[in-house]
Copies of this chain bind each other. A is one copy, B any other.
Amino acid sequence: MTALHADDTGNGIEPRGEATRQRILDAAERLFSEHGINGVSLRTITAAAGANSAAANYHFGSKQGLVEAVFARHASGIATERRALLDDCRAAPGRPPLLEQIVAAFLEPSMRGQHGGTTFARLRARMIAESTDDTRRLYARYFDDSSGRFLTALREALPELPAHDLHWRFHIMLGTMVYTLANPGRIQILTDGACDPSDTDEALDYLVPMLAQIFRGEPVGSGVAALEPILKVGQILR
Contacts and interface: CB of A to CB of B under 8 A. Distances in A.
Contact of A35 (B132, B168, B201): B132
Interface string A111-154: 01000000000000110111110001001100010011001000
A54 interface: no
Contacts of A194: 163-164, 166-167
A25 interface: no
The prevalent SS among residues of A at the interface is helix
B227 A209 contact: yes
A233 B168 contact: no
Contact of A128 (B174, B183, B195, B206): B183
Interface residues of A, number: 78
A175 interface: yes
Interface of A: 35-36, 38-39, 85, 88, 94, 98, 100-101, 104-105, 108, 112, 125-126, 128-132, 136, 139-140, 144, 147-148, 151, 163-164, 166-172, 174-180, 182-183, 185-187, 189-191, 194-195, 197, 201, 204-210, 213-214, 217-218, 220, 223-224, 227, 230-231, 233-234, 236-238
